[in-house]
Structure 1
Amino acid sequence: MTITERLQALRKHMAKRDLEAYIIPTADPHQSEYVPDFYKTRVFMSGFTGSAGTLVVTRNGAGLWTDSRYFLQAEEQLKGSGITLYRMGIDQKMDDFLRENVSPFGKIGFDGMCFSVSRYRELAKAMGKRILVIDVDYVSDIWTDRPALPSKPAFFLDKAYSGATIEEKLRILRFMLRDRECDYTFISGLDDVAYLYNLRGYDVEDTPVVLSYALVSEEEAKLFVQQDKITPEIVKNLAEAGVEILDYEAIAPALEEIAGQKIVYLDPEYTSITLYRCLRENVKIQQGTNLTSLMKAIKNETEIRNMKEAYIKDGVALMKFFNWVETGAPSRAVNERAAVRKLHELRAEQEHFLLDSFGAIIGYGANAAVVHYDPMLSKTTATIEPKGLLLVDSGGHYWEGTTDITRTVAMGPITEEEREDYTLVLKAHIAGMTAVFPKGTPGMYVSSLVMSPLYQAKKTFFHGTGHGVGHILAVHEGPQSFTNVPRGGGIVELAPGMVTSMEPGLYVAGKHGIRIESITLCVEKETNEYGTWYALEALTWVPIDTRPVNVDMLTEEELQWLNDYNAICYEKLSPHLEDEDLRYLSARCKPLERETRE
């Protein structure tokens, strides 16, 4: 069945309920960023495979909205589908499109299990008198060969890795509930449930979580999950912590049973509108960021110590990888897909490796200008040659922690434009890595510092400056972020223990893409008469390539930081490498010097 045929089949179903529009978001019942194959309904109905986007189908047309990371990818994948691409921030907004294509009292349908409370409220406000129908899941009727829900067993994260027992986490969570005068908290976010109960699993590709819900009160703690995923070890550990295990489908009845006048705390960004409506009308709701999200944002000493070890392992794998790529490039025998496979193999050789933390983004030349380029899904794959720039953005999950790193390297001769852009991105990266800021500072401030070198050159990038990173959980984790947008994670105050990426870039369509990403740990620097000051400590230790740098564009302080950073990389990685890999590391860590002029 072609995309066009699927859209026609959907329109026939829409006619049965007199729907003028049908919305298919990128979501599962937990509002996850990355979803199991079973819930990739937007991919099935549109052919667009990016991790973010919303499809709207009307009686006579269809549109797909996605952000700047996927403009080029979506344009290519939507060709011939009859679906119009709408670039968020540039083209017509989705809500305006709906108002234009749905009559004042017309009906708009969607599967309420995959639609958050927050988005429902925004849509209801924007649509005025139009009617929102939340009990329609027409994709299931069309998708006859839909993949099964995941069934692989979960596994337990011992305190040696988590740093805290279930009992200790429940004790903190219940204190937070009492402090807010709430009786229950309903937790729908998969990484939040996994964090609270020290559970990990394989239900979402590249994200070690289990499809599950949690409901916690002063007296009870419940886990709603497909029970055949729960091993005897997990049953024992949960029972000792006083956690009751119930069927995954039992969550709706459990919410319905909460007595009136009780106060339930929930996160409207992660709670589906369907489950929200299971609560009785006289149940009081308190809303905000999941309390467990606030807890896991501050990594404990064990998590930090383990994550530092994970980043050494990752650095070793990457140095072996870059040596392999640069050795093979002159033969024209290495392409992007082969590079993805090799990088996975080298990570898998590291002790305690679990799985990749996301699909590796390996883009050579012009392909790197596609911010979230996926060579495994691209119709063609570029051969990596001994010239130009290669961008590698990848990560892994180890028992010790989750990694995410981007390096852009010169494969050989590069253009002056590439050299200038690379140096601008490096200056932006250094600005972020050397930031010092007072207690109470939000992520927006750090993002502004990072953007300054690029703004001075009248250039910018169209993605976040940095995101939180989970501990053997989602590689993109809130609540904090580095972004210049005055909302969301950018307004969250930074605090010691927060782990956040630092990843400025520049992308020139048809030419090149550059990104330099390191993971940082927020630490307390000092306290003086002006207050308490924080800084960012590097967790990532992979040399930053100096070959593409225009050294004349760097200040003395920037040059010193670059050379010091690469020297530490050699110190940390050299004990784990030998022979050609060690020689490659040594060459990449050699200090960059200014030319002597007579």
Structure 2
Amino acid sequence: MSSYQDRLTALREQLKRDRLDGFVVPLTDEHMSEYVGAYAQRLAWLTGFQGSAGSAVVLPEQAAIFTDGRYTLQVREQVDGRNWEFVSVPATSIASWLGAHAAAGARVGYDPWLHTRSWVEEARKALAERGAELVAVDTNPVDAVWPDRPQPSDAKLAVQDDARAGQSSAEKRAVIADWLAERKADAVVLSALDSIAWTLNVRGQDVAHTPVALAYAIIDADGTADLFVAPEKIGDDVLQHLGNAVRVRDRAAFPAALGGYAGKRVAADPERAVAAIFGRLEAGGATILSLRDPVVLAKAMKNPAEIAGHRAASVRDGAALARFLKWVEAEAPKGGLTELSCVAKLQEFREATGVLRDTSFDTISATGGHGASPHYHSTPESNAPLEPGQLYLVDSGGQYADGTTDVTRVLPIGTPTEEMRDRFTRVLKGHIGLATAVFPPGTNGGQLDSFARRPLWEAGLDFAHGTGHGVGAYLAVHEGPQRIAKPNYPGGGPSEPLRPGMIISNEPGYYKAGEYGIRIENLILVEERIIPGGDEPMLGFETLTFCPIERSLIVADLLTAAERDWLDAYHAKVLEILSPEMDLEEVAWLKEKCAPIL
């Protein structure tokens, strides 16, 4: 179809044929994934929005797209405001918007394989108060009008060997079996793709940037499992790895299998399992236990093998990024660099490691005003040149078989303004404040979030995104349940206590609309701390990411003595760790970048 307006018109015509007066289009898949395969990119196809979180509602005369503060600028650049109303969440929920805009008697459709049960209940209640009805569809109307919709990936699964995993699948399934026994449950449904990959020690290629395979799993109380996956995706190596205790079944058989638990107690995660899963279990006569997926916390607390793998990945990834920063510094003054040419060059440096599997997300390569959109995605249409007087922000990461990385650095192109340096230094102070935090067990990310914001708050500044997200072990770059964020941050999660072994990002920022963006991001590991003379055991963070932080953007007088000490010690460690990976010219550059702050 020739335009996004044509696509919206086609969907409205399809809704008429389906006897619907509206439809909700979320950006997710049947597994409630954040990043989804091309076949599930319905929101992007319909609206042009390229962000990683959002939803849309289409009514006969109105259409709205819902995004949070990370995408306020981006959604307006990518989506035609003549056709779409821009709505900010969580200030306005989809349910409340529907309750205010749907006509009395309207039938608003939703795909039960793309929403949680709680969302369905909230939307149904809001529409009922309006005298309207929420209707589950058997066939997604967007798919009916998407003529060249990609097919789901047919890539084969791969084995994640026990040495890297640190624990065999049989051992992991035995722990889940014990969890089921404690709850007198017969089985648990795993629908989150990273939970399945982690439990079975397999990886896939079905979702860009996240090494997972499209599958479902049901773990039984005896530790055996059913894996529902397209048959052509399983090779002999994976069959041998899974063994007889894992029964491989066609993915298409999963809905019917949910109906076979009459009289059984089955656990399912209300946040990660879609409404259709609960509906099938209920229809089949199962007693449902609404419990968090038992893999979520186990996966978040990395074992020694996973931590060692991440350290190794961080060294090679930090060296690749440092080479890139050196290249940008040398080439930018000559002119000719663009956001996309920088993406390609950074990819080259990572691929030169010889072991890169993928990037861990689409690289955010943003210069000037684009940097003020925290999740900006450069396209051929938006691609901008790096010009003097700008700040260049690059947020990127790699997927390696031993670890997943995520790091953000900012470089000045030419001479930065004093305001830029002030803001950068405040962001750095917040970064150090979080990196050096010491706290008792039971502390959650919501309680720590202000450590990173205080230096900005003191100047009347703030940023509209979370401060930290969990990171997987060669899995999702955004992994729960831990998060460092304000309590009301979209998506929840900051109330989860931080525990030893969790890897989380430390990424405060500052964004000036139309002018520049700043973010400093390292990954940090929660570890136990013994405080000499203290009464209680404590927790703290070990920084895992090593790459220079741009010294020319730092106002040294704004740093306390303790902050200077942290920065100098960090840079000394960067020099020590990265020098063996680099040649003599690169080491000379690195020494300059890692010199003590004056």
TM-score w.r.t. the length of structure 1 is 0.96
Is 1:71 the counterpart of 2:72? The answer is yes
Q: Show the 5 A alignment for 1:372-387.
A: 372-375=375-378, 377=379, 379-387=381-389
Look up the match of 2:38.
37
**Which of residues 450, 459, 462 in structure 1 aligns to 2:461?**
459
Q: Deviations over 1:81-109 (max 9, x none)?
A: 5112112255x543232112223442110
Answer whether contact 1:439 1:531 (CA < 8 A) is retained: no
Look up the match of 2:312.
309
Q: Show the 5 A alignment for 1:262-411.
A: 262-281=264-283, 282-375=285-378, 377=379, 379-411=381-413
Structure 1: how far apart are the matches of 2:566 and 2:354?
31
Look up the match of 2:574.
569
157-166 vs 128-137, which moves further: 128-137
1:548 is matched by which residue type in structure 2? L
Structure 2: how far apart are the matches of 1:489 and 1:559?
32
**Which of residues 424, 427, 447 in structure 1 aligns to 2:426?**
424
Answer whether contact 2:229 2:248 (CA < 8 A) is retained: yes
78-87 vs 331-340, which moves further: 78-87
2:126 is matched by which residue type in structure 1? A
Structure 1: how far apart are the matches of 2:534 and 2:421?
43
What's the secondary structure of 1:128's corresponding residue? helix
What's the secondary structure of 1:371's corresponding residue? coil
296-305 vs 439-448, which moves further: 439-448
Structure 2: how far apart are the matches of 1:486 and 1:385?
37
Look up the match of 1:473.
475
Give the drift of 1:197.
0.6
Question: Is the alpha carbon distance of 1:89 and 1:218 closer, same or farther for their aligned partners in structure 2, counting shifts above 3 Å?
Answer: closer
Answer whether contact 1:326 1:386 (CA < 8 A) is retained: no
Structure 2: how far apart are the matches of 1:287 and 1:466?
27
What's the secondary structure of 2:524's corresponding residue? strand
Q: Deviations over 1:14-71 (max 9, x none)?
A: 2234322210000111111011110111111111111111110001110101111111
Give the drift of 1:559.
1.0
Look up the match of 1:98.
98
Structure 2: how far apart are the matches of 1:35 and 1:99?
29
Look up the match of 2:189.
186
Structure 2: gaps of 5 or more residues: none
What's the secondary structure of 2:64's corresponding residue? strand
Give the drift of 1:529.
5.6
99-108 vs 468-477, which moves further: 99-108
What's the secondary structure of 2:439's corresponding residue? strand
Structure 2: how far apart are the matches of 1:293 and 1:122?
25
Q: Deviations over 1:361-390 (max 9, x none)?
A: 011122111111112x25132222354321
Look up the match of 1:505.
509
What's the secondary structure of 1:428's corresponding residue? helix
Structure 1: how far apart are the matches of 2:86 and 2:105?
26
**Which of residues 493, 498, 503 in structure 2 aligns to 1:494?**
498
Structure 2: how far apart are the matches of 1:179 and 1:104?
48
Answer whether contact 2:204 2:213 (CA < 8 A) is retained: yes
Structure 1: how far apart are the matches of 2:534 and 2:377?
50
1:107 is matched by which residue type in structure 2? R
Answer whether contact 2:281 2:288 (CA < 8 A) is retained: no
Give the drift of 1:562.
0.7
455-464 vs 279-288, which moves further: 279-288
What's the secondary structure of 2:210's corresponding residue? coil
Structure 2: how far apart are the matches of 1:477 and 1:509?
29
Look up the match of 1:12.
13
Look up the match of 1:581.
586
Answer whether contact 2:525 2:541 (CA < 8 A) is retained: yes
Question: Is the alpha carbon distance of 1:171 and 1:438 closer, same or farther for their aligned partners in structure 2, counting shifts above 3 Å?
Answer: same
Look up the match of 2:117.
117
1:396 is matched by which residue type in structure 2? G
2:448 is matched by which residue type in structure 1? V
What's the secondary structure of 1:582's corresponding residue? helix
Structure 1: how far apart are the matches of 2:535 and 2:444?
18
Q: Show the 5 A alignment for 1:547-562.
A: 547-562=552-567
Structure 2: how far apart are the matches of 1:355 and 1:402?
10
Look up the match of 2:255.
252
Structure 2: how far apart are the matches of 1:185 and 1:531?
37
What's the secondary structure of 1:420's corresponding residue? helix
Question: Is the alpha carbon distance of 1:378 and 1:72 closer, same or farther for their aligned partners in structure 2, counting shifts above 3 Å?
Answer: farther
Q: Deviations over 1:296-355 (max 9, x none)?
A: 011000000110010001111011101111111111022111110111111111142211
Give the drift of 1:579.
2.8
**Which of residues 530, 538, 556 in structure 1 aligns to 2:535?**
530
Is 1:218 the counterpart of 2:236? The answer is no
Give the drift of 1:176.
1.3
Look up the match of 2:25.
24
2:597 is matched by which residue type in structure 1? L
Answer whether contact 1:465 1:482 (CA < 8 A) is retained: yes
Is 1:521 the counterpart of 2:525? The answer is yes
What's the secondary structure of 1:385's corresponding residue? coil
Q: Deviations over 1:170-225 (max 9, x none)?
A: 01111111122221100100111111111111100111100000101123311000
1:468 is matched by which residue type in structure 2? G
1:121 is matched by which residue type in structure 2? E
Answer whether contact 1:19 1:106 (CA < 8 A) is retained: yes
Q: CA RMSD in A?
A: 1.5
Give the drift of 1:249.
0.9
2:552 is matched by which residue type in structure 1? R
Give the drift of 1:285.
1.5
Answer whether contact 2:94 2:123 (CA < 8 A) is retained: no
Is 1:592 the counterpart of 2:592? The answer is no
Look up the match of 1:443.
445
2:28 is matched by which residue type in structure 1? A
Structure 1: how far apart are the matches of 2:321 and 2:6?
44
Give the drift of 1:253.
1.1
Look up the match of 1:596.
none
Answer whether contact 2:389 2:413 (CA < 8 A) is retained: yes
What's the secondary structure of 1:44's corresponding residue? helix
1:278 is matched by which residue type in structure 2? R
Answer whether contact 1:4 1:81 (CA < 8 A) is retained: no
Structure 2: how far apart are the matches of 1:559 and 1:322?
22
Answer whether contact 2:14 2:145 (CA < 8 A) is retained: no
Look up the match of 1:543.
548
2-11 vs 566-575, which moves further: 2-11
Is 1:202 the counterpart of 2:205? The answer is yes
Q: Deviations over 1:512-565 (max 9, x none)?
A: 100000000000001666322000000101111111111111111111111111
For this pair of structures, how many residues does the alignment match? 589
Give the drift of 1:124.
2.4
Structure 1: how far apart are the matches of 2:210 and 2:476?
6
Structure 2: how far apart are the matches of 1:592 and 1:21?
59
Look up the match of 1:82.
83
Structure 2: how far apart are the matches of 1:7 and 1:206?
29
TM-score w.r.t. the length of structure 2 is 0.96
Structure 2: how far apart are the matches of 1:413 and 1:438?
43
Answer whether contact 2:26 2:114 (CA < 8 A) is retained: yes
Look up the match of 2:50.
49
2:124 is matched by which residue type in structure 1? A
Structure 1: gaps of 5 or more residues: 594-598
575-584 vs 314-323, which moves further: 575-584
Structure 1: how far apart are the matches of 2:105 and 2:273?
27
Answer whether contact 1:119 1:269 (CA < 8 A) is retained: no
What's the secondary structure of 2:497's corresponding residue? coil
Structure 2: how far apart are the matches of 1:264 and 1:226?
24
What's the secondary structure of 2:392's corresponding residue? strand
Structure 2: how far apart are the matches of 1:88 and 1:440?
29
Tell me the percent identity: 37
